[in-house]
């Protein structure tokens, strides 16, 4: 089960993979990405991830890219790796050219992919829940585009770890709760699940959409609306959602206990429903 990389059509051991120093993703963060998880040797939500990748490129005025060809290459790479539980990382930059802020002329985009095994560092984490801190959201104004410009997310995650917590939750300057450092956020408040509405302030998560679909199936009331930090603190349940995160309960925020301090029934039910989807796809 080798961990492999792909660069512009070539597959190689991941340790042998390098990119040119003048790649615009490296020098400007001028690149987009996706991460697809696999379960039981099968990639999950492939169509949805590639649709979002295509949208990200279109929003940034990338040259036209044949997304179907990249999808086929990802499948080939994943097939050669033969890793049942893997993270397939796909990154597309605007290309390689002498450093200049202006877009280059007609040059090919650069496509880089890796396949790595997902290591479950704490398999009991969904049974115990996690602690989190809140942090001011200093990210750029287009968080709906999945770019590699993740320095604020990296800083937020590290501040959480330095505080002895697992993750950070972004809160806007005017007090609106956004999402986690690499995940969307739901709370149970007033008998309903509440999550930030789709806007330029948050990522349109693939797992977020699956959770909303599951809620519709199970007749769980949901509101997509803004809420502040006081409502976050008073929520009965809080959980994060994401491709690798799945459904991850939060039981403490800024040193305050969420609900009764234990993993709630809504998070458990939706995690079970999500895993059921994974097995049936």
> Bridge partners of 29?
none
**What is the Cα–Cα distance from 258 to 218, expressed in whole angstroms?**
24
Select which of 42, 121, 146, 219 is catalytic: 146
- Active-site residue flag, 146: yes
Q: What angle do CA 22, 23, 24 make, to 5 degrees?
A: 105
Residues in CB range of 196: below 8 A, 6 or more apart: 176, 177, 178, 179, 184, 185, 202, 224, 225, 226, 227
Catalytic residues: 146
């Amino acid at each position: 089960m080798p961990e492999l990389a792909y660069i512009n059509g070539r597959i190689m051991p991941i340790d042998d993979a390098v990119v040119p120093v003048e790649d615009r993703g490296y020098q400007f963060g001028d690149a987009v990405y996706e991460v697809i998880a696999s379960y039981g040797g099968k990639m999950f939500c492939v169509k949805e991830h590639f649709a979002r990748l295509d949208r990200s490129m279109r929003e940034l005025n990338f040259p036209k890219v044949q997304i179907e060809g990249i999808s086929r290459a990802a499948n080939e790479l994943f097939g050669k790796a033969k890793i049942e539980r893997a993270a397939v990382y796909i990154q597309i930059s605007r290309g390689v050219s002498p450093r200049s802020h202006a877009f280059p002329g007609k040059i090919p985009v650069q496509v880089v992919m890796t396949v790595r095994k997902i290591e479950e560092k704490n398999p009991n984490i969904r049974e115990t829940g996690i602690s989190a801190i809140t942090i001011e959201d200093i990210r750029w104004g287009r968080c709906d585009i999945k770019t590699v410009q993740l320095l604020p997310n990296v800083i937020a995650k590290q501040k959480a770890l330095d505080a002895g917590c697992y993750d950070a939750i972004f809160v806007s300057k005017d007090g609106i709760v956004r999402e986690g450092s690499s995940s969307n956020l739901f709370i149970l408040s007033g008998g309903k699940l509440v999550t930030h509405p789709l806007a330029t302030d948050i990522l349109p998560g693939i797992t977020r959409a699956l959770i909303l679909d599951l809620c519709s199936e199970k007749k769980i009331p949901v509101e997509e609306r803004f809420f502040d930090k006081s409502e976050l603190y008073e929520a009965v349940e809080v959980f994060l959602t994401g491709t690798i995160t799945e459904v991850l309960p939060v039981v403490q925020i800024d040193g305050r206990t969420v609900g009764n301090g234990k993993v709630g029934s809504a998070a458990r039910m939706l995690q079970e429903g999500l895993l059921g989807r994974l097995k049936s796809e």
